[in-house]
A = this chain, B = another copy of it.
Amino acid sequence: MVEDTKERIRAVALELFTAHGYEQTSLREIADRVGITKASLYYHHPSKQALLVAIVEPLLRDWRMMVERLEAVPHTPEHVRDALGECLNTLLRHREACALFARDVPALLTAVGPVLVEAKELGTRMNAWLAGPEPSQADLVRAFAATEVLNSALASAVMLPSVPQAELRATLLDAAAAVLGLTQADPTTGTAGRPGL
């Protein structure tokens, strides 16, 4: 395969960055694990920062697409529930990179500030949509809390490894919906109720 080494470096780096943090991981560690030297690593990735960007970029692209898809849709209870589900999917699809984002903010901020700024902006837009049109301050807080519930999927997988992912997904989706004041979805129809609208 072409560029095989480059990909292997990326994979190893993601793993080590997520496990020990960006600053705590040296390029020597990554190179050792891949089975090459630091100098060879630099042949494929021009800097540690660039390596991080290469890791984080795909996640950001997916996230951007998701938010844009979202904003084209009206804020109804069904769409809100769907949005939470899609958000959870995106989170789980990029689980490791998301964990890196969530757990290593300060390091990423100094290393790739602009990238984190866009990530934060996407989060804000997502929350704004979730809060609905003309939101109260409580709506904004609830939207924020709901996304945190979904985020907890990352930590839950580590803290509660015995819970199967399907159950984790379903439970967190209901929990996030509950935070937003949506009632439980009807399991027979998959349709959510419409309270407080």
A49 at the B interface (CB under 8 A): no
Q: Is A189 an interface residue (CB 8 A)?
A: no
- The distance from the CB of A118 to the nearest CB of chain B, in whole angstroms, is 15
**How many copies altogether?**
2
Distance, CA A21 to CA B113, complexed state (A):
14
Complex CA distance for A19 and B107, rounded to whole angstroms? 11
A37 located at the interface, meaning its Cβ lies under 8 Å from any Cβ of chain B in the complex? no
Are B162 and A144 touching (Cβ within 8 A)? no
- Distance, CA A176 to CA B179, complexed state (A): 7
- Interface residues as binary, A24-59 with B (CB distance below 8 Å gives 1, 0 otherwise): 100000000000000000000000000000000000
Instruction: Evaluate contact between B104 and A105: CB separation under 8 angstroms.
Output: yes
- Indicate whether A178 reaches chain B with its CB closer than 8 angstroms: yes
What count of chain A residues pass the 8 Å CB interface test? Answer: 43
Q: How distant is the Cα of A175 from the Cα of B175 in the complex, in angstroms?
A: 9
Interface residues of A in 130-144 (CB under 8 A from B): 137-138, 140-142, 144
Q: Is the CB of B172 within 8 A of A145?
A: yes
Contact A151 B148 (CB under 8 A): yes
- Name the distance in Å between A85's Cβ and chain B's nearest Cβ: 15
User: A152 on the interface (CB 8 Å rule)?
Assistant: yes
Question: Is there a chain B Cβ closer than 8 Å to A171's Cβ?
Answer: yes
Answer whether A144 and B140 are a contact pair too, CB < 8 Å, given A20-B110, A24-B110: no
Contact of A191 with B by CB under 8 A: no
A72 within 8 A of B: no
